[in-house]
């Protein structure tokens, strides 16, 4: 990881370069540190797909880690809500954590709504070229709302929950995702599409 990957820092803070590099760690893992960034509406299937893919990769001996929106908001981002500013800060922090994990040589799967194009681009720009793979889980709002596994759409429609993505706040769909998935297809088919993409990009070198 290089100093220019970070934000401007105090002149008195100097970047340290260490003898073991990302490339060394990737050689050990036999795959490239990469982020698979799942984005989509609440209920679109991000967590389900990321979990299914992680299970397959893990069984194949790939070192993975899944960062999940709901879980992050119990810890590192527990101070944040759902205003535009808080979502921006949420995604910036997730991006920084993902960047460290990529530097560690892991295949990172993230499941965050990440509704704004600008923040998704910010995370892409934090990472080495080609190491951010944007996966759009494209499930119509009506389908997500019918699924409603946590009853949140119902609360949003009744006005009990404000700033709910797709109801009273924006979701900016990716214009050129690396992979565009129809979130109504079978999970096994979608997992297959993801594995094909990892093959095409030669992310894993077993």
Ligand X SMILES: Nc1ncnc2c1ncn2[C@@H]1O[C@H](COP(=O)(O)OP(=O)(O)O)[C@@H](O)[C@H]1O
Ligand Y SMILES: Nc1ncnc2c1ncn2[C@@H]1O[C@H](COP(=O)(O)OS(=O)(=O)O)[C@@H](OP(=O)(O)O)[C@H]1O
46 annotated as belonging to a binding site for a ligand: yes
43: nearest Cα among 151, 185, 157: 151
46: nearest Cα among 150, 206, 181: 181
By three-state DSSP, how is residue 180 classified?
strand
d(CA 88, CA 74): 17
By the 10 Å C-beta count (0-12 exposed, 13-18 middle, 19+ buried), 101 is classed as: buried
Q: Which residues touch 40 (CB under 8 Å, ≥6 apart)? A: 46, 113, 136, 137, 138, 139, 183
Residue 128 DSSP class: P
User: How far apart are CB 71 and ligand Y at their closest, in Å?
Assistant: 9
User: How far apart are CB 187 and ligand X at their closest, in Å?
Assistant: 5
**Of the listed pieces 36-44, 55-63, 83-91, 154-162, which binds ligand X according to CB under 6 A?**
36-44
Identify the residue among 93, 147, 155, 193 touching ligand X (CB under 6 A).
147
The answer to the question of residue 95 lying near ligand Y (CB under 6 A) is no
The answer to the question of residue 112 lying near ligand Y (CB under 6 A) is yes
**Residue 52 binds which of ligand X, ligand Y, none (CB < 5-8 A, kind-dependent):** none
**Of the listed pieces 39-47, 74-82, 93-101, 166-174, which binds ligand X according to CB under 6 A?**
39-47
Of 101 and 113, which CB lies nearer to ligand Y in the complex structure? 113
Residues lying near ligand Y in the complex (CB under 6 A) are found at 42-43, 47, 69-70, 73, 82, 87, 90-91, 112-115, 150, 152, 161, 163-165
């Amino acid at each position: 990881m290089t100093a220019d990957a970070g934000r401007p820092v105090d002149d008195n803070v100097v970047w340290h370069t260490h003898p073991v590099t990302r490339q060394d760690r990737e050689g050990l893992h036999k795959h490239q540190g990469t982020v698979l960034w799942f984005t989509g509406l609440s209920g679109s299937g991000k967590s389900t797909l990321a979990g299914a893919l992680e299970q397959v990769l893990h069984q194949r001996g790939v070192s993975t880690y899944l960062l999940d929106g709901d879980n992050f908001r119990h810890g590192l981002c527990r101070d944040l809500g759902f205003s535009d500013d808080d979502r921006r800060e949420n995604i910036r922090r997730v991006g920084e954590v993902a960047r460290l994990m990529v530097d560690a040589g892991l295949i990172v799967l993230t499941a965050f709504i990440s509704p704004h194009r600008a923040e998704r681009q910010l995370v892409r720009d934090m990472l080495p070229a080609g190491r951010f793979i944007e996966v759009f889980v494209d499930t119509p709002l009506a389908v997500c709302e019918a699924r409603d596994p946590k009853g949140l759409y119902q609360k949003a429609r009744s006005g009990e929950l404000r700033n709910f993505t797709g109801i009273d706040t924006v979701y900016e769909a990716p214009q050129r995702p690396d992979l565009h998935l129809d979130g109504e297809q079978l999970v096994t088919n979608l997992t297959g599409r993801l594995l094909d993409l990892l093959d095409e990009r030669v992310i894993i070198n077993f």
